[in-house]
Chain A
Amino acid sequence: MSSAMDDRSRLMLPADHPLFRVRPLALGAGAIGLAVSLAGALIDTTQFFQSYLFGFLFWFGIAMGSLALLMIYHVTGGAWGSVIRRSLESAVRTIPVLAVLFIPVVVGLQSLYEWADAAKVAHDPLLQHKSVYLNVPFFIGRAVLYFVVWTLLAVFLSRWSEAQENGEPRAIGWLENLSRGGLVALGLTFTFAAVDWAMSLEPHWYSTLYGVLVMGGCLLSAMAFMIQVTALLTKNGPLSGVVQPMQFHDLGKLMFAFVMLWAYFSLSQLLIIWSGNLPEETPWYLKRMSGGWEYLGLCLILFHFALPFVILLSRDIKRNARLIATVALFILCVRVLEVYWLITPAFSPHHARVHWLDVTAWLGVGGVWLWAFTGGLRGRALIVWNDPSLPAAGGHA
């Protein structure tokens, strides 16, 4: 038992690890970013809420993708998940923080969503028709429900994971069963959340593929973020020697798969709308294919799909922690562009633009989120030392 305790403390992140040293920095950047953004809200309230929604949805996506990956891991197992499990749990435990960070979106409903503006609805028969679903109280009620479901999942995924670490033999079964139902619950709630928060920015438009398209992006964000964190923990942290090239290979393969999954969903939606060529469906793309937005779209095809696709074909790159982390960082940067391309043209159709509030709001939410994320890594062994799928000799489990 004493050797197990040794293992546990050896696998904890030391207090002077770079990830902890950036914590005050992240909190500071978050506080300054949010403060500056709030000051900007005094100048241009509408712009503040639009920028804030973009910043929020990007970081929210990492947490949601992590929640999905964590539950997929509990259902399927595998060494790939054992090595990122703690980081996933840490990301999932930021969900209550994200619920608080969601409050400004609720405050800004009138500025963000046409359907929340009574004056606009009064002149729009279609919005009146849709108001059964798209109305303020129901929207808030649904958002509360989503966060309750996600928070409950996060709480029990963390609690039972700790129980497993403390030697409760039934905890693995609990986690597995929770994740089975949890994945279904997440699929439903996330689809509705994507429709509510992002798709309803353009309430005349609809796409049945939208939810999975956004989820595909979130999975990619989460995997890229996890590879980056794992590389940091391996380079100069307790995971060095524990995470083998083989695990980076597996994580890289999954990231590769998510790159293709995102491209597949994106093309499916485009192809169906392009083929149908219906006036109620095409405006979404027309707004995003003119006035400069088309260059951003082209950028996404090249750098969100084509370039990572070609790079990630290489086995050597996937097995090299430093190289795969660089690719992951690049993908995270392109993810920011993709979320921007999904959200911002709704506010500025046919006219590409970047506002300084987009930057400060993104930084503000991101700083607070990273502070919460790194906080979740404190005081816990980074590998579940009694995980049965843990690669004893670095093999697949």
Chain B
Amino acid sequence: MTARVPVYGLMAEFADVNHLIEAIRKLRQMGYRRMDAFTPFPVEEVWEELGVHRNMVSFLVFCGGLAGCLFGIGLQYWTSVIDYPINVGGRPLFSVPAFVPITFECTVLFAALTAVLGMLALNGLPAPYHPVFNVPRFALASRDRFFLCVESTDPLFDREGTRRVLESLSPVSVAEVPD
């Protein structure tokens, strides 16, 4: 019994999102913290229950947007006022109304790119290997099943004990996740 393969964690499969939320709530009450949930569609409550704290992405996006805004104004100012000034119908070279759309578009572009790249940088994607895929039924996470993985790094983790807890939470199945 001692020479067992190391596990990444225990994976419980639920048929219903409310069972998943209930399970997360119970486990957190018991003191479990290192766990992750997988759902076929975004469920706001799940990450609220998981206690997922805010991340840096929104701040990065704000900075990206601000940078884009400044870039847009700067680009237009440089091209129309400094580098190649043209008198268009007697309008001032620095014409704010005409600069608004491009400034806005640059803001959106930079913010969106920062969101995507910042998300990838912070969550470590693309990841060629992740242990959760070792559970064959896990493919259903992108179809109609809800999964909860309690990771073995949790101080309370115990192969037998945690399995018994998970089995009491009305899952469809509980499986070990080989590391």
Contacts and interface: CB of A to CB of B under 8 A. Distances in A.
Nearest to A395: B45
A246 interface: yes
Contacts of B89: 277
A271 B89 CA distance: 15
Contacts, number: 24
Contact of A246 (B44, B91, B100, B101): B44
Contacts of A315: 58
Nearest to B89: A277
B44 A271 contact: no
Interface string A334-372: 000000000000000000000000000000000000000
A275 B100 contact: no
Main secondary structure on B side of the interface with A: helix
Contacts of A313: 62
A270 B101 CA distance: 12
Interface string B63-106: 00000000000000000000000000101000001101100000
Nearest to A245: B48
B18 interface: yes
A271 B104 CA distance: 14
B62 A394 contact: no
A271 B62 contact: no
A315 B91 CA distance: 41
A267 B100 contact: yes
Contacts of B18: 393
A271 B98 CA distance: 7
A396 interface: yes
Interface string A265-297: 001001100110100000000000000000000
B58 A267 contact: no
Contact of A396 (B21, B44, B58, B100): B44
B97 A267 contact: yes
Contacts of A246: 44
A274 B45 contact: no
A313 B107 CA distance: 14
Interface string B9-47: 000000000100100000000000000000000011100
Given A267-B100, A271-B98, 12 more contacts: A246-B44, A267-B97, A270-B97, A271-B97, A271-B100, A275-B98, A313-B62, A393-B45, A394-B45, A395-B44, A395-B45, A396-B44
